[in-house]
Chains A and B, each alone.
Chain A
């Protein structure tokens, strides 16, 4: 289902901590281990160690390296090349041992990943906004991604703002920015931001409106 060279919004950048954490994510059918190098640049790797197939998202960040949880093999940020095999410290590491890596970028407060075989030519196709959007919340929607995309346009009235991106207003709250993520066959993720931080007094009604939005998307999937 992944289009070659396409960018997809994986998760809000603030959800990926500065250093030390590895997150597991599934982006349009590709299981990923997401982490940040010492300089903070986002790494999106196939979630599979090339040695014994263990999930790298169980691993540990060591500065600019990600170490597998099984045998401690270490892989370098950037190209994913294996740089240390602790069971054989005296031996040179064979050059061909390499994690499959994907293009990743941080843009408009979201982490974008291009999980296809072909690297993307351009930057993530983000919608132009005057200021960085204010992230509100992520919601799991119990409906397939294609159904949610269709329902956001009609009947919910959001406007496409690029691939997997929508803008519009909902239940009296304007300036909303939505990202959809195809996470699994029967559910998807919806990340929601607003153009500006909403006033504190509006928050209860705003988050109530987002829960209503989720209910509407669920009903759209049922019909």
Chain B
């Protein structure tokens, strides 16, 4: 079965097929399957613990980084995967929250991850609360060195910024988009001033309108058991899911006036322009819609 897109942004980049932990005790004799870009892949690990991947009887490059598996489906040379130096920082707590299926374009999922204005309405009582709805001006730029988007100086009142947060805080955020379908957010650590908790969002595109959103926590926090931190993220993503699945069109409009933009949407408009300039068509409407 061929892959369902020729979009070079996806075919020439590393795409995740989920956590590396799924290959524990998976040998070549009994591989596991994973879906990516409309195709079925087989995954296993060899005796030395190295991951392997095949599709249509052909071996594909696969690497394990940040506890996740990344596959390259293109014919050309694979680029370097993005850097996430916090992952290897001593004292960091790494918690894989698993994947959540979402029936929409992965670009919609990433755009939602980059948005703070929805906190009071969708994550009421945790990440936001009416009447604290105002989004103060922030910056969003494309870093010329790496071609990544960085949104900085974002801050927002949060009644309960994380599973272990006690009182409300004015949480500070920085967002980073590494690839069209991978992003990270850096947020104020409620328990340790000056440190940033990192949340990685790695979207696995099953096809143009179905994805698995994987969430990896790279936290300084060491108070709560894993299960509570995972449950908090599942609650947050469970609140986003019905909103995301109701969006029409499912594919992200990159140009045109179908959707209105305000200054508070700067990250979203920067992301859409960045996708458009890269020529992304997968999961997108590249041409204006009526």
Q: Assess A88 versus B249: contact at CB under 8 Å? Given A53-B259, A58-B243, A94-B260.
A: no
Nearest A residue to B260 via CB reads A97
Q: In whole angstroms, how far apart are the Cα atoms of A51 and B111 in the complex?
A: 13
In Å, the complex CA distance between A52 and B259 comes to: 6
B250 to chain A: closest residue by CB: A53
- Across the interface, A69 reaches (CB within 8 A) one of B117, B122, B258, B264, namely B122
Chain A, residue nearest B122 (CB): A70
Rounded to whole Å, the gap between the CB of A186 and the closest CB of chain B is 20
Question: Is there an interface contact between B260 and A88, defined as CB atoms closer than 8 Å?
Answer: no
A87 CB to closest chain B CB, in angstroms? 4
Check B260 against A51 for contact (C-beta < 8 Å): yes
B263 A88 Cβ-Cβ under 8 A: yes
Let me know if B262 is at the binding interface, CB within 8 A: yes
Closest to A59 in B: B121
Per DSSP, are chain A's interface residues mostly helix, strand or loop, or mixed?
A: loop
A89 to B120, CA, bound (A): 14
Sample (15) of A-B pairs whose CB atoms are under 8 Å apart: A51-B259, A52-B247, A52-B259, A53-B247, A69-B122, A69-B243, A70-B122, A72-B120, A72-B121, A72-B130, A72-B133, A82-B260, A87-B133, A87-B264, A88-B262
Q: Which of A55, A71, A94 has the most CB of B within 10 A?
A: A71
Count the A residues whose beta carbon is within 8 Å of the partner chain — how many?
26
Q: How many of chain B's residues have a CB under 8 angstroms from any CB in A?
A: 21
Residues from chain B with a CB closer than 8 A to the CB of A71 are 117-118, 121
A91 interface hit (Cβ, 8 Å): yes
B246 touches A85 (CB 8 A): no
Judging by beta carbons under 8 Å apart, are B246 and A55 in contact?
yes
Q: Which residues of A contact B (CB under 8 A)?
A: 31, 47-48, 50-55, 58, 68-72, 82, 85-91, 94, 96-97
B133, B134, B135, B246: most-surrounded residue (chain A CB, <10 A): B246
Give A21 to B259 CA distance when docked, in angstroms: 25
CB distance from B72 to the nearest CB of A (A): 32
A58-B246, A87-B135, A88-B134 known; A50-B259 Cβ under 8 A:
yes
- Which of B117, B120, B134, B242 lies in contact with A58, CB distance below 8 A? B242
- Contact partners of A68 in chain B: CB under 8 A: 121
Please name the 5 residue pairs, one residue from A and one from B, whose CB atoms are nearest each other, closest first. A55-B246, A86-B133, A87-B117, A87-B264, A87-B135
Asked if B248 CB lies within 8 Å of chain A CBs, one says: yes
Closest A residue to B268 by CB, please name it.
A52
How far is it, in angstroms, between the C-alpha of A50 and the C-alpha of B264 when the chains are bound? Answer: 15
Q: Smallest CB-CB separation from B247: which chain A residue?
A: A53
Name 8 extra pairs, CB < 8 A, besides A68-B121, A85-B264. Answer: A50-B260, A51-B260, A53-B258, A54-B243, A69-B121, A72-B121, A87-B133, A87-B134
Name the distance in Å between B131's Cβ and chain A's nearest Cβ: 8
